[in-house]
Amino acid sequence: MKIFSLIAWLSLSILAHGWIENFSFEEIANPPGIDPQVGAMDILADGRLAVAFHRGDVMLYDTVSKTWSPFASGLQEPLGMLADKDGSLLVMQRSELTRLRDTNGDGTADVYETVFDDFGMSGNYHEFAYGPARDPQGNLFIVLGVASNGAPIAKEIRGEFSEIGKVDREGMTLRELWKKNAGNVGRMYSRVPWRGWVLKLSPDGKKMTPYASGFRSPNGIGFDAAGRLLITDNQGDWRPTSPLYDVKQGGFYGHPASLVWTPGWDGRDPLTMPVEELDALQQPAAGYFPQGELANSPTWPVVIPKGSFPEAWTNQTLIGEMNQKNLVRVLDDTVDGVFQTALVPVFNGSPLGMGSNRLAFAKDGSLYVGKTALSWAGGKGITRIKWNGKPFLSLDKIKALPDGFVLRFSQAIDPATLSSLTVSRHTYEYHKAYGAPKKDDTKLNVSAAKLSNDGVTLTLTIGALKEKYLHVIDMAGLRTKDGEKMLGSKAWYQVVKAPK
Protein backbone atom coordinates (compact mmCIF):
# COMPACT_ATOMS: atom_id res chain seq x y z
CA MET A 1 0.00 0.00 0.00
CA LYS A 2 2.85 2.37 0.94
CA ILE A 3 4.73 1.46 -2.27
CA PHE A 4 1.62 2.17 -4.36
CA SER A 5 1.12 5.53 -2.61
CA LEU A 6 4.75 6.46 -3.25
CA ILE A 7 4.45 5.58 -6.95
CA ALA A 8 1.24 7.63 -7.26
CA TRP A 9 2.89 10.57 -5.49
CA LEU A 10 5.93 10.40 -7.77
CA SER A 11 3.71 10.27 -10.87
CA LEU A 12 1.77 13.35 -9.77
CA SER A 13 4.99 15.15 -8.87
CA ILE A 14 6.46 14.50 -12.32
CA LEU A 15 3.23 15.64 -13.97
CA ALA A 16 3.03 18.75 -11.81
CA HIS A 17 6.67 19.53 -12.64
CA GLY A 18 5.76 19.43 -16.34
CA TRP A 19 3.05 22.05 -15.93
CA ILE A 20 5.20 24.21 -13.63
CA GLU A 21 8.02 24.19 -16.19
CA ASN A 22 5.70 25.71 -18.79
CA PHE A 23 3.15 27.77 -16.83
CA SER A 24 3.19 30.09 -13.83
CA PHE A 25 0.42 29.86 -11.20
CA GLU A 26 -0.27 33.01 -9.19
CA GLU A 27 -2.86 33.34 -6.44
CA ILE A 28 -4.56 36.74 -6.67
CA ALA A 29 -5.03 38.54 -3.35
CA ASN A 30 -8.72 38.62 -2.48
CA PRO A 31 -10.40 42.01 -1.91
CA PRO A 32 -10.67 42.60 1.85
CA GLY A 33 -13.98 41.66 3.44
CA ILE A 34 -15.32 39.83 0.37
CA ASP A 35 -16.33 36.16 0.40
CA PRO A 36 -13.71 34.67 -1.99
CA GLN A 37 -16.14 32.56 -4.03
CA VAL A 38 -16.48 33.57 -7.68
CA GLY A 39 -19.80 33.37 -9.53
CA ALA A 40 -18.96 35.30 -12.71
CA MET A 41 -16.02 36.94 -14.50
CA ASP A 42 -15.19 38.84 -17.68
CA ILE A 43 -12.57 41.26 -19.03
CA LEU A 44 -13.50 44.92 -19.54
CA ALA A 45 -12.51 46.77 -22.69
CA ASP A 46 -9.79 48.61 -20.71
CA GLY A 47 -8.26 45.30 -19.61
CA ARG A 48 -9.50 45.19 -16.03
CA LEU A 49 -11.01 41.97 -14.67
CA ALA A 50 -14.63 42.23 -13.53
CA VAL A 51 -15.58 39.69 -10.88
CA ALA A 52 -18.99 38.98 -9.36
CA PHE A 53 -18.60 37.21 -6.03
CA HIS A 54 -21.15 34.78 -4.64
CA ARG A 55 -22.47 37.13 -1.95
CA GLY A 56 -23.39 39.75 -4.56
CA ASP A 57 -20.40 42.11 -4.73
CA VAL A 58 -18.98 43.10 -8.12
CA MET A 59 -15.32 44.16 -7.95
CA LEU A 60 -12.88 45.35 -10.61
CA TYR A 61 -9.27 44.15 -10.58
CA ASP A 62 -6.54 46.21 -12.25
CA THR A 63 -4.20 43.55 -13.64
CA VAL A 64 -1.30 46.02 -13.85
CA SER A 65 -1.43 47.69 -10.41
CA LYS A 66 -2.94 44.53 -8.86
CA THR A 67 -5.53 46.53 -6.96
CA TRP A 68 -9.27 46.08 -6.43
CA SER A 69 -12.07 48.66 -6.60
CA PRO A 70 -15.80 48.19 -5.91
CA PHE A 71 -18.29 48.48 -8.77
CA ALA A 72 -21.66 47.14 -7.51
CA SER A 73 -23.21 45.28 -4.60
CA GLY A 74 -26.42 43.64 -3.44
CA LEU A 75 -26.75 41.17 -6.32
CA GLN A 76 -28.41 37.79 -5.80
CA GLU A 77 -26.19 34.82 -6.57
CA PRO A 78 -24.63 36.06 -9.84
CA LEU A 79 -23.61 33.14 -12.09
CA GLY A 80 -22.68 34.75 -15.39
CA MET A 81 -21.37 38.00 -16.83
CA LEU A 82 -20.70 39.77 -20.12
CA ALA A 83 -18.70 43.00 -20.28
CA ASP A 84 -19.88 45.41 -23.00
CA LYS A 85 -17.73 47.88 -24.91
CA ASP A 86 -19.44 50.82 -23.19
CA GLY A 87 -18.18 49.63 -19.81
CA SER A 88 -21.52 48.28 -18.63
CA LEU A 89 -21.86 44.75 -17.31
CA LEU A 90 -24.61 42.22 -18.04
CA VAL A 91 -24.92 40.01 -14.96
CA MET A 92 -27.18 36.96 -14.59
CA GLN A 93 -28.68 37.01 -11.12
CA ARG A 94 -30.89 34.27 -9.74
CA SER A 95 -33.98 36.40 -10.42
CA GLU A 96 -33.07 38.41 -13.52
CA LEU A 97 -30.57 39.44 -16.16
CA THR A 98 -29.31 42.86 -15.05
CA ARG A 99 -27.27 45.58 -16.74
CA LEU A 100 -24.97 47.55 -14.43
CA ARG A 101 -24.03 51.05 -15.63
CA ASP A 102 -21.74 53.77 -14.36
CA THR A 103 -23.44 56.87 -15.81
CA ASN A 104 -21.63 59.58 -13.81
CA GLY A 105 -18.09 58.28 -14.26
CA ASP A 106 -17.25 57.81 -10.60
CA GLY A 107 -16.17 54.19 -11.13
CA THR A 108 -19.19 52.55 -9.55
CA ALA A 109 -22.54 51.43 -10.97
CA ASP A 110 -25.37 53.86 -10.28
CA VAL A 111 -27.95 52.20 -12.58
CA TYR A 112 -29.15 48.62 -12.12
CA GLU A 113 -31.38 47.95 -15.12
CA THR A 114 -33.58 44.86 -15.48
CA VAL A 115 -32.97 43.44 -18.96
CA PHE A 116 -35.06 40.26 -18.61
CA ASP A 117 -36.93 38.53 -15.78
CA ASP A 118 -39.82 36.76 -17.52
CA PHE A 119 -39.18 33.27 -16.15
CA GLY A 120 -40.58 31.35 -13.21
CA MET A 121 -39.19 31.06 -9.69
CA SER A 122 -40.63 28.62 -7.17
CA GLY A 123 -38.31 29.60 -4.31
CA ASN A 124 -36.53 26.24 -4.44
CA TYR A 125 -32.85 26.55 -3.55
CA HIS A 126 -31.63 24.75 -6.67
CA GLU A 127 -33.20 27.04 -9.30
CA PHE A 128 -29.95 28.58 -10.53
CA ALA A 129 -29.77 30.84 -13.58
CA TYR A 130 -26.75 30.92 -15.92
CA GLY A 131 -25.54 33.13 -18.76
CA PRO A 132 -25.63 35.23 -20.76
CA ALA A 133 -23.85 34.17 -23.93
CA ARG A 134 -24.03 36.38 -27.04
CA ASP A 135 -24.21 35.28 -30.66
CA PRO A 136 -22.72 37.29 -33.58
CA GLN A 137 -26.08 39.00 -34.14
CA GLY A 138 -26.12 40.30 -30.58
CA ASN A 139 -28.82 37.93 -29.31
CA LEU A 140 -28.42 36.79 -25.72
CA PHE A 141 -28.83 33.24 -24.40
CA ILE A 142 -29.50 32.18 -20.82
CA VAL A 143 -30.19 28.73 -19.36
CA LEU A 144 -32.20 27.91 -16.25
CA GLY A 145 -31.62 25.04 -13.83
CA VAL A 146 -34.46 22.91 -12.47
CA ALA A 147 -35.52 22.54 -8.82
CA SER A 148 -34.42 19.76 -6.46
CA ASN A 149 -36.58 17.57 -4.24
CA GLY A 150 -34.12 18.31 -1.47
CA ALA A 151 -36.50 21.10 -0.48
CA PRO A 152 -40.09 22.25 -1.15
CA ILE A 153 -41.17 25.39 -3.00
CA ALA A 154 -42.17 28.72 -1.47
CA LYS A 155 -45.71 29.83 -0.73
CA GLU A 156 -45.30 32.74 -3.12
CA ILE A 157 -43.95 31.93 -6.56
CA ARG A 158 -43.23 33.90 -9.73
CA GLY A 159 -45.05 32.77 -12.84
CA GLU A 160 -47.54 30.04 -13.60
CA PHE A 161 -47.57 26.78 -11.64
CA SER A 162 -47.68 23.59 -13.68
CA GLU A 163 -50.32 21.16 -12.44
CA ILE A 164 -48.64 18.33 -14.36
CA GLY A 165 -47.24 15.94 -11.77
CA LYS A 166 -48.18 13.66 -8.89
CA VAL A 167 -48.11 16.37 -6.19
CA ASP A 168 -50.25 19.53 -6.14
CA ARG A 169 -49.03 22.98 -5.16
CA GLU A 170 -50.13 22.69 -1.55
CA GLY A 171 -48.33 19.39 -1.19
CA MET A 172 -45.13 20.98 -2.54
CA THR A 173 -45.37 24.02 -0.26
CA LEU A 174 -46.29 22.80 3.21
CA ARG A 175 -43.27 21.39 4.98
CA GLU A 176 -45.36 18.99 7.03
CA LEU A 177 -46.46 17.33 3.76
CA TRP A 178 -43.11 17.52 2.02
CA LYS A 179 -41.51 14.53 3.73
CA LYS A 180 -44.01 12.12 2.20
CA ASN A 181 -44.31 13.98 -1.13
CA ALA A 182 -40.66 14.64 -1.97
CA GLY A 183 -40.18 11.24 -3.61
CA ASN A 184 -43.13 11.81 -5.94
CA VAL A 185 -42.04 15.06 -7.60
CA GLY A 186 -38.94 13.65 -9.31
CA ARG A 187 -35.34 14.01 -8.18
CA MET A 188 -35.31 17.31 -10.11
CA TYR A 189 -38.50 19.05 -11.20
CA SER A 190 -39.79 21.99 -13.27
CA ARG A 191 -43.10 23.36 -12.00
CA VAL A 192 -42.67 27.03 -12.99
CA PRO A 193 -42.01 28.41 -16.49
CA TRP A 194 -38.87 27.63 -18.41
CA ARG A 195 -36.94 25.78 -15.73
CA GLY A 196 -34.57 23.48 -17.62
CA TRP A 197 -34.72 25.61 -20.78
CA VAL A 198 -32.37 27.73 -22.86
CA LEU A 199 -34.02 31.05 -23.63
CA LYS A 200 -32.99 33.26 -26.56
CA LEU A 201 -33.35 36.99 -25.96
CA SER A 202 -33.23 39.86 -28.43
CA PRO A 203 -30.24 42.19 -27.85
CA ASP A 204 -32.39 44.53 -25.77
CA GLY A 205 -34.00 41.66 -23.84
CA LYS A 206 -37.52 42.62 -24.86
CA LYS A 207 -38.26 39.56 -26.99
CA MET A 208 -37.84 36.01 -25.68
CA THR A 209 -37.88 32.78 -27.68
CA PRO A 210 -37.91 29.37 -25.94
CA TYR A 211 -34.89 27.81 -27.60
CA ALA A 212 -34.13 24.30 -26.24
CA SER A 213 -35.14 22.09 -23.32
CA GLY A 214 -33.87 19.16 -21.27
CA PHE A 215 -31.29 20.68 -18.92
CA ARG A 216 -30.66 19.84 -15.30
CA SER A 217 -27.91 21.94 -13.69
CA PRO A 218 -26.17 23.55 -16.70
CA ASN A 219 -23.36 25.52 -15.06
CA GLY A 220 -21.71 26.50 -18.32
CA ILE A 221 -22.91 28.27 -21.48
CA GLY A 222 -20.94 29.91 -24.27
CA PHE A 223 -20.28 30.03 -28.00
CA ASP A 224 -17.19 28.35 -29.41
CA ALA A 225 -15.00 29.80 -32.16
CA ALA A 226 -17.17 28.17 -34.85
CA GLY A 227 -20.37 29.73 -33.47
CA ARG A 228 -21.76 26.60 -31.81
CA LEU A 229 -23.71 27.13 -28.59
CA LEU A 230 -22.03 24.86 -26.04
CA ILE A 231 -23.61 23.95 -22.71
CA THR A 232 -22.21 21.75 -19.96
CA ASP A 233 -24.51 19.92 -17.55
CA ASN A 234 -23.86 18.00 -14.35
CA GLN A 235 -24.24 14.30 -13.61
CA GLY A 236 -27.44 13.39 -11.76
CA ASP A 237 -30.87 11.99 -12.51
CA TRP A 238 -31.20 11.33 -16.25
CA ARG A 239 -27.49 12.16 -16.50
CA PRO A 240 -25.29 9.02 -16.45
CA THR A 241 -22.23 11.29 -16.41
CA SER A 242 -21.71 14.98 -17.15
CA PRO A 243 -22.33 15.86 -20.83
CA LEU A 244 -21.21 18.57 -23.25
CA TYR A 245 -23.95 19.64 -25.68
CA ASP A 246 -23.91 21.42 -29.03
CA VAL A 247 -27.32 23.07 -28.58
CA LYS A 248 -29.69 23.61 -31.50
CA GLN A 249 -33.02 25.41 -31.55
CA GLY A 250 -35.92 23.08 -30.77
CA GLY A 251 -33.69 20.37 -29.34
CA PHE A 252 -34.42 18.29 -26.25
CA TYR A 253 -31.31 17.43 -24.23
CA GLY A 254 -32.29 14.58 -21.97
CA HIS A 255 -33.72 15.77 -18.66
CA PRO A 256 -37.50 15.33 -19.06
CA ALA A 257 -38.83 17.64 -16.30
CA SER A 258 -38.71 20.72 -18.56
CA LEU A 259 -40.85 19.17 -21.31
CA VAL A 260 -44.05 20.35 -19.58
CA TRP A 261 -43.26 23.89 -20.84
CA THR A 262 -43.01 22.81 -24.47
CA PRO A 263 -45.56 24.87 -26.43
CA GLY A 264 -48.53 22.60 -27.15
CA TRP A 265 -47.42 19.91 -24.68
CA ASP A 266 -50.05 17.13 -24.43
CA GLY A 267 -50.42 17.16 -20.62
CA ARG A 268 -48.48 13.98 -19.84
CA ASP A 269 -46.13 13.92 -16.89
CA PRO A 270 -42.76 13.52 -18.66
CA LEU A 271 -41.20 11.94 -15.58
CA THR A 272 -43.49 8.93 -16.10
CA MET A 273 -42.88 8.54 -19.84
CA PRO A 274 -41.12 5.38 -21.06
CA VAL A 275 -37.36 5.73 -21.12
CA GLU A 276 -37.27 4.52 -24.72
CA GLU A 277 -39.61 7.31 -25.83
CA LEU A 278 -37.57 9.98 -24.05
CA ASP A 279 -34.33 8.57 -25.45
CA ALA A 280 -35.72 8.80 -28.97
CA LEU A 281 -36.58 12.46 -28.42
CA GLN A 282 -33.21 13.60 -27.06
CA GLN A 283 -30.27 15.03 -28.97
CA PRO A 284 -26.95 13.25 -28.36
CA ALA A 285 -24.14 14.77 -26.34
CA ALA A 286 -21.11 15.95 -28.32
CA GLY A 287 -18.86 14.80 -25.49
CA TYR A 288 -18.85 13.22 -22.05
CA PHE A 289 -16.80 13.95 -18.93
CA PRO A 290 -16.28 10.58 -17.17
CA GLN A 291 -17.32 10.97 -13.55
CA GLY A 292 -14.43 10.85 -11.09
CA GLU A 293 -11.83 10.67 -13.87
CA LEU A 294 -12.00 13.82 -16.00
CA ALA A 295 -14.72 15.90 -14.34
CA ASN A 296 -17.47 15.70 -11.75
CA SER A 297 -19.02 19.14 -12.27
CA PRO A 298 -17.96 20.85 -15.53
CA THR A 299 -18.47 24.60 -15.69
CA TRP A 300 -17.89 27.53 -18.02
CA PRO A 301 -16.59 27.22 -21.62
CA VAL A 302 -14.27 29.89 -23.08
CA VAL A 303 -12.42 30.20 -26.39
CA ILE A 304 -8.61 30.14 -26.20
CA PRO A 305 -7.35 33.37 -27.82
CA LYS A 306 -4.28 33.67 -30.02
CA GLY A 307 -1.03 34.08 -28.10
CA SER A 308 -2.26 32.79 -24.76
CA PHE A 309 -1.41 29.10 -25.20
CA PRO A 310 0.45 27.18 -27.94
CA GLU A 311 -0.63 28.18 -31.44
CA ALA A 312 -2.33 24.85 -32.18
CA TRP A 313 -4.66 25.48 -29.21
CA THR A 314 -5.89 28.82 -30.59
CA ASN A 315 -9.70 28.88 -30.98
CA GLN A 316 -10.12 25.61 -29.14
CA THR A 317 -12.54 25.58 -26.21
CA LEU A 318 -11.44 25.38 -22.59
CA ILE A 319 -13.91 24.32 -19.87
CA GLY A 320 -13.77 24.72 -16.10
CA GLU A 321 -14.31 21.91 -13.60
CA MET A 322 -15.39 22.19 -9.97
CA ASN A 323 -14.40 18.93 -8.29
CA GLN A 324 -11.32 17.68 -10.13
CA LYS A 325 -7.93 19.41 -10.07
CA ASN A 326 -7.90 20.19 -13.78
CA LEU A 327 -9.54 22.09 -16.61
CA VAL A 328 -10.74 20.38 -19.81
CA ARG A 329 -9.73 21.15 -23.40
CA VAL A 330 -12.12 20.36 -26.26
CA LEU A 331 -10.74 18.89 -29.50
CA ASP A 332 -13.34 19.33 -32.24
CA ASP A 333 -14.16 16.83 -34.95
CA THR A 334 -16.96 16.65 -37.51
CA VAL A 335 -18.20 13.50 -39.25
CA ASP A 336 -20.78 13.92 -42.03
CA GLY A 337 -21.75 17.28 -40.55
CA VAL A 338 -22.12 15.89 -37.03
CA PHE A 339 -20.08 17.67 -34.34
CA GLN A 340 -18.33 15.44 -31.81
CA THR A 341 -15.40 15.91 -29.49
CA ALA A 342 -12.44 14.49 -27.65
CA LEU A 343 -12.00 15.90 -24.15
CA VAL A 344 -8.50 16.22 -22.71
CA PRO A 345 -7.40 17.24 -19.17
CA VAL A 346 -5.38 20.42 -18.69
CA PHE A 347 -3.31 21.32 -15.59
CA ASN A 348 -4.03 17.95 -13.97
CA GLY A 349 -1.56 17.52 -11.14
CA SER A 350 -0.58 21.21 -11.26
CA PRO A 351 -0.98 23.77 -8.44
CA LEU A 352 -4.37 24.80 -9.89
CA GLY A 353 -6.46 22.88 -7.33
CA MET A 354 -10.24 22.43 -7.35
CA GLY A 355 -13.26 24.70 -7.70
CA SER A 356 -12.62 26.16 -11.16
CA ASN A 357 -16.01 27.79 -11.73
CA ARG A 358 -15.37 30.68 -14.14
CA LEU A 359 -12.63 31.39 -16.69
CA ALA A 360 -11.52 34.61 -18.39
CA PHE A 361 -8.56 35.40 -20.66
CA ALA A 362 -6.92 38.79 -20.13
CA LYS A 363 -5.43 40.94 -22.88
CA ASP A 364 -1.91 39.73 -22.08
CA GLY A 365 -2.98 36.11 -22.63
CA SER A 366 -3.21 35.27 -18.93
CA LEU A 367 -5.98 32.93 -17.86
CA TYR A 368 -7.86 33.95 -14.72
CA VAL A 369 -9.62 31.07 -12.96
CA GLY A 370 -12.32 32.00 -10.43
CA LYS A 371 -13.15 29.33 -7.89
CA THR A 372 -16.13 28.49 -5.71
CA ALA A 373 -17.20 25.78 -3.29
CA LEU A 374 -20.58 26.68 -1.73
CA SER A 375 -21.75 23.49 -0.01
CA TRP A 376 -20.03 21.22 -2.53
CA ALA A 377 -16.40 20.27 -2.97
CA GLY A 378 -14.44 23.05 -4.60
CA GLY A 379 -12.12 25.92 -3.82
CA LYS A 380 -11.96 29.67 -3.27
CA GLY A 381 -10.19 32.67 -4.76
CA ILE A 382 -8.70 33.48 -8.15
CA THR A 383 -5.65 31.91 -9.82
CA ARG A 384 -3.78 33.56 -12.70
CA ILE A 385 -2.13 31.13 -15.13
CA LYS A 386 0.44 32.31 -17.70
CA TRP A 387 2.23 30.26 -20.36
CA ASN A 388 5.94 31.07 -20.63
CA GLY A 389 6.15 30.29 -24.36
CA LYS A 390 8.17 27.12 -23.92
CA PRO A 391 7.02 24.24 -26.19
CA PHE A 392 5.76 21.02 -24.64
CA LEU A 393 4.32 17.70 -25.81
CA SER A 394 0.54 17.68 -26.18
CA LEU A 395 -2.21 16.18 -28.32
CA ASP A 396 -3.36 19.00 -30.59
CA LYS A 397 -5.85 17.45 -33.03
CA ILE A 398 -7.84 14.27 -33.50
CA LYS A 399 -9.83 12.92 -36.43
CA ALA A 400 -12.06 9.85 -36.51
CA LEU A 401 -11.53 7.28 -39.26
CA PRO A 402 -13.75 4.31 -40.19
CA ASP A 403 -11.30 2.01 -38.40
CA GLY A 404 -9.55 4.27 -35.87
CA PHE A 405 -8.17 7.74 -35.32
CA VAL A 406 -5.55 10.14 -36.61
CA LEU A 407 -3.77 12.01 -33.79
CA ARG A 408 -1.58 15.06 -34.30
CA PHE A 409 0.95 16.02 -31.62
CA SER A 410 2.87 19.19 -30.92
CA GLN A 411 6.22 17.39 -31.10
CA ALA A 412 7.63 14.23 -32.66
CA ILE A 413 6.88 10.97 -30.83
CA ASP A 414 9.57 8.37 -30.15
CA PRO A 415 8.43 5.26 -32.10
CA ALA A 416 9.84 3.04 -29.34
CA THR A 417 7.08 4.24 -26.97
CA LEU A 418 4.12 3.50 -29.25
CA SER A 419 3.53 0.05 -27.76
CA SER A 420 2.50 1.70 -24.48
CA LEU A 421 -0.59 3.31 -26.01
CA THR A 422 -3.95 1.70 -25.18
CA VAL A 423 -7.53 2.26 -26.33
CA SER A 424 -10.77 1.21 -24.68
CA ARG A 425 -14.41 2.16 -25.00
CA HIS A 426 -17.59 2.13 -22.98
CA THR A 427 -21.07 3.56 -23.00
CA TYR A 428 -23.66 4.65 -20.43
CA GLU A 429 -27.28 3.73 -19.78
CA TYR A 430 -29.80 6.56 -20.04
CA HIS A 431 -32.21 6.26 -17.11
CA LYS A 432 -33.85 8.30 -14.36
CA ALA A 433 -31.48 7.08 -11.65
CA TYR A 434 -28.72 9.34 -10.38
CA GLY A 435 -25.68 8.72 -12.58
CA ALA A 436 -24.66 5.39 -14.08
CA PRO A 437 -21.58 3.16 -14.11
CA LYS A 438 -19.68 2.44 -17.28
CA LYS A 439 -21.41 -0.12 -19.46
CA ASP A 440 -19.69 -2.58 -21.82
CA ASP A 441 -16.22 -1.34 -20.86
CA THR A 442 -13.90 -3.05 -23.37
CA LYS A 443 -10.21 -2.85 -24.12
CA LEU A 444 -9.60 -2.62 -27.87
CA ASN A 445 -6.84 -4.17 -29.91
CA VAL A 446 -4.54 -1.59 -31.50
CA SER A 447 -3.66 -3.55 -34.61
CA ALA A 448 -1.51 -0.78 -36.10
CA ALA A 449 0.08 2.46 -34.90
CA LYS A 450 1.82 4.26 -37.76
CA LEU A 451 3.81 7.47 -37.35
CA SER A 452 4.32 9.99 -40.14
CA ASN A 453 7.88 10.67 -41.30
CA ASP A 454 8.08 13.79 -39.12
CA GLY A 455 6.81 11.85 -36.09
CA VAL A 456 3.95 14.21 -35.21
CA THR A 457 1.02 12.41 -36.84
CA LEU A 458 -0.07 9.01 -35.57
CA THR A 459 -2.64 6.80 -37.30
CA LEU A 460 -4.25 4.23 -35.02
CA THR A 461 -6.09 1.20 -36.37
CA ILE A 462 -8.49 -0.33 -33.83
CA GLY A 463 -11.39 -1.60 -35.97
CA ALA A 464 -14.77 -0.02 -36.61
CA LEU A 465 -15.77 2.78 -34.25
CA LYS A 466 -18.98 2.28 -32.30
CA GLU A 467 -21.64 4.96 -32.15
CA LYS A 468 -22.83 6.17 -28.71
CA TYR A 469 -19.56 4.94 -27.20
CA LEU A 470 -16.85 6.93 -25.46
CA HIS A 471 -13.46 5.89 -26.86
CA VAL A 472 -10.62 6.36 -24.37
CA ILE A 473 -7.08 6.84 -25.72
CA ASP A 474 -4.41 6.54 -23.02
CA MET A 475 -1.13 8.12 -24.15
CA ALA A 476 0.61 8.33 -20.77
CA GLY A 477 3.52 6.19 -21.96
CA LEU A 478 4.31 8.23 -25.08
CA ARG A 479 7.58 10.20 -25.09
CA THR A 480 9.56 12.45 -27.36
CA LYS A 481 13.03 11.22 -28.32
CA ASP A 482 14.35 13.44 -25.55
CA GLY A 483 12.17 11.57 -23.05
CA GLU A 484 9.63 14.35 -22.53
CA LYS A 485 6.23 13.20 -21.23
CA MET A 486 2.90 14.38 -22.57
CA LEU A 487 0.87 16.98 -20.68
CA GLY A 488 -2.80 15.97 -20.82
CA SER A 489 -2.12 12.37 -21.79
CA LYS A 490 -5.64 10.95 -22.05
CA ALA A 491 -8.41 11.71 -24.54
CA TRP A 492 -12.08 10.74 -24.28
CA TYR A 493 -13.65 10.78 -27.78
CA GLN A 494 -17.43 10.45 -28.01
CA VAL A 495 -18.47 8.80 -31.28
CA VAL A 496 -21.83 10.32 -32.16
CA LYS A 497 -21.44 9.47 -35.85
CA ALA A 498 -19.03 6.78 -37.00
CA PRO A 499 -17.26 7.50 -40.33
CA LYS A 500 -18.18 5.19 -43.16
Q: Are residues 331 and 229 in the same domain?
A: no
Within a domain: 432: yes
Range of the domain at 189: 25-301
Total domains in the chain come to: 2
Are 330 and 223 in the same domain? no
CA 443 to chain CA centroid, nearest Å: 28
Q: Single out the residue of 24, 25, 63 nearest to residue 388, CA to CA.
A: 24
Q: What is the CATH number of the domain that holds 66?
A: 2.120.10
Q: How far is CA 224 from CA 232, 245, 403, in A?
A: 13, 12, 28
Series of mean pLDDT values for 10-residue runs along the chain (500 residues): 42 62 97 96 97 97 97 98 96 98 97 98 97 97 97 97 96 92 95 98 97 98 98 98 98 98 96 96 98 97 97 98 97 98 97 97 97 88 97 98 98 98 98 97 98 98 98 98 96 97
Pick from 255, 386, 253, 375: nearest CA to 322: 375
* Domain identity same for 280 and 339: no
Which residue in 235, 147, 256 sits closest to 428, CA to CA?
235
| Rounded Cα–Cα distance for residues 297 and 377 (Å) | 10
165 lies in the same domain as 95: yes
CATH number of 460's domain = 2.60.40.1220
Q: Tell me the C-alpha distance between 279 and 110, whole Å.
A: 49
Is 344 domain-assigned?
Answer: yes
Residue where a domain stops, chosen among 267, 283, 301? 301
